[in-house]
């Protein structure tokens, strides 16, 4: 899904094109559709229809103003769904997009130190010692500050290299 453009948000445009309870068509809709079309996008309606914004008073009607536009050749996204049951305090309904992830290699390698481990204790002690030994009294210029930051970076990198371990994160790894 490299460089895929998706247009989504609260457009505040009521229109019969996406809201069956609204009987008018707006020039704002034409402008929005023109912009989407120029980006190679089309309106992607949810698999369950309904209002995306609930009115906060009795004089206004619930409306469909939150929209999603996907690429014309959309294959990554199977559907999007309105979830009014999880809207909480907002007057807008969350729009959930389901992304189909194929069987690709999602392995990631990271350097880490396990929390509350012996390695973490061994890491912290020389780090604190190194920071305490920095001479901060000579910070009189921008150049002095840059040198001090470089010293701090070097201390951190050296201690990190001593105590961190390479971890292999795969799709079956624990969270």
Instruction: Kindly report, residue by residue over 121-157, the tens digit of the pLDDT.
Output: 999 999 999 999 998 887 888 998 999 999 999 999 9
Which residues does 38 contact at the CB level (< 8 Å), separation at least 6?
Answer: none
- Res. 1: pLDDT tops 50: no
Report the alpha-carbon distance of residue 111 to residue 167 in Å, rounded: 6
Q: Do residues 115 and 148 share a domain?
A: yes
C-alpha–C-alpha distance, residues 37 and 69, integer Å: 9
Examine residue 142 and state whether it is found in any structural domain, yes or no.
Answer: yes
Using DSSP's 3-state secondary structure scheme, residue 165 falls into strand
The verdict on 87 and 162 lying in the same domain is no
- Residue 100: the pLDDT is 63
- Check whether residue 25 and residue 91 sit in a common domain: yes
Judge whether 56 and 91 are in contact, CB under 8 Å: yes
Q: Are residues 165 and 119 in the same domain?
A: yes
Task: Calculate the dihedral angle through the C-alpha atoms of 70, 72, 77, 80, rounding to the nearest 10 degrees.
Answer: 50
CB 167 within 8 A of CB 114: no
pLDDT number for residue 157:
94
Least confident piece of the model among 7-16, 55-64, 70-79, 128-137: 70-79
Domain that holds residue 124: 108-169
Residue 175 reports pLDDT greater than 80: no
Task: Report the C-alpha gap between 138 and 166 in whole angstroms.
Answer: 37
Q: Quick one: 28 and 93 in the same domain?
A: yes
Identify whether residues 88 and 149 lie together within a single domain.
no
Whether the per-residue pLDDT at 2 is higher than 60: the answer is: no
Q: Are residues 135 and 94 in the same domain?
A: no
End residue of a domain, out of 80, 99, 118: 99
What's the predicted TM-score (pTM) here? 0.52
What is the C-alpha to C-alpha distance for residues 155 and 159, in angstroms, rounded to an integer? 6
Could you tell me if 48 and 76 lie in one domain?
yes
Both 94 and 27 in one domain: the answer is yes
Hey, what are 71's tokens?
Answer: 């690429």
Which of 82, 99, 116 is where one domain is finished?
A: 99
* CATH code, domain carrying 49: 3.60.10.10
For residue 155, what are its two tokens?
A: 């201390």
Q: Per the domain annotation, does 2 fall within a domain?
A: no
In a domain, 56, yes or no: yes
Both tokens of residue 153? 């970076």
Domains held by the chain: number: 2
| Same domain (yes/no): 94, 113 | no
- According to DSSP, the residues that pair with 34 across neighbouring strands are none
- What pLDDT is recorded for position 156? 92
């Amino acid at each position: 899904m490299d460089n895929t453009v998706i247009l989504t948000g609260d457009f505040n445009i009521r229109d019969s094109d996406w809201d069956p309870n609204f009987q008018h068509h707006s020039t704002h809709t034409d402008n929005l559709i023109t912009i989407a079309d120029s980006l190679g996008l089309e309106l992607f309606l949810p698999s369950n229809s309904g209002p995306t914004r609930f009115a906060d008073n009795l004089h206004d009607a619930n409306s469909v103003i939150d929209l999603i536009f996907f690429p014309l050749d959309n294959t990554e996204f199977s559907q999007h769904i309105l979830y009014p049951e999880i809207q909480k305090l907002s007057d807008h309904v969350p729009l959930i997009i389901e992304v189909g992830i194929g069987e690709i290699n999602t392995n990631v390698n990271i350097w880490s130190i396990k929390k509350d481990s012996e390695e973490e204790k061994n890491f912290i002690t020389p780090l604190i010692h190194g920071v305490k030994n920095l001479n901060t009294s000579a910070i009189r210029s921008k150049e002095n500050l840059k040198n001090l930051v470089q010293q701090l970076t070097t201390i951190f990198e050296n201690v990190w290299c001593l105590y961190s371990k390479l971890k292999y994160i795969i799709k079956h790894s624990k969270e």
